[in-house]
Amino acid sequence: MRVLVIFAHPVAESFGGALHRTVVEALTAAGHEVDDCDLYAEDFQPVLTRQERLDYHNLAANRQPVESYVQRLERAEALVLVHPVWNYGFPAILKGYFDRVFLPGVSFKLENGAVSPNLQHITKLAAIVTYGGTRWRTFLMGNPPRRLFMRMLRALVKPFAPVKFLALYDMNNVGEGQRQAFLEQVRRQMANF
C-alpha cells in the first residue's frame, strides 16, 4: 500500500521526531511504500497567498503552486499524520498544508453549492499525536485536533475506512517509561496498518 506520512515538527531530535522515525520504519518493514513528507525539512510554505485565494475555485489554476504535494496526495492509498498539538490545534505548517493542498477538485468537489468528498482512493487513516495538556484538560477544550481528524478528514476519504487516532497526553509530565510504551504502541499499530 502507498502510504503518505505527513510529519509536522521543526525538531527532528524531539520525541515527535522519534515518533516519525518509528512510523516510517514500521510501515516500511511491513512492506508498505512510504512517501515521507516532512513539511519542515521540505521547507513547505504554509501561507496561502492572495493569488492562491483568488484562484481557489479555479480548478485549472488552484493546484499549480502546490502541484507536487497534490500529486503525492492523489497517489496515496493511506494517510498518516504525525504531529504535536500546540494550543489545542495543528501546528501552523500542518494547517497551512491543509489550506493550500486540500483544494476544490483535490480533496473535495464543489458542484452547485454541494460539497462531496474526493479522496476516496485513501482507504486508511491514522494520526499519531502528542499533547502538552492532560487528557482531562483536552476533553474540556473539546479536543479540536481529534474532532477535525475524526470528522473532517474522515469524511473526505473512502466511506468506512479504518481510522486510528493514537495520542500521548501530558507530554510535559510523562516519564521515559510512558514515552517508550507509546513508541512501542505506535510501532505495533503501524506494523499492522
Average pLDDT over residues 68-79: 98
- Check: CB of residue 49 under 8 Å from CB of residue 95: no
Coil, strand or helix at 143: coil
As a whole number, mean pLDDT of residues 134-156 equals: 88
pLDDT tier for residue 94 given thresholds of 50, 70 and 90: very high
The residue ranking higher by pLDDT, 138 or 180, is 180
pLDDT value, residue 110: 86
Region 63-78: mean pLDDT is: 97
- Residue ranges covered by each domain of the chain: 2-191
DSSP string over 34-81: EEEEETTTTT---PPPHHHHHTTT-TTTTTGGGHHHHHHHHH-SEEEE
Predicted pLDDT of residue 133: 86
- pLDDT tens digits, residue range 5-39? 999 999 999 999 999 999 999 999 999 999 999 99
Name the superfamily (CATH) of residues 2-191.
Answer: Flavodoxin domain (3.40.50.360)
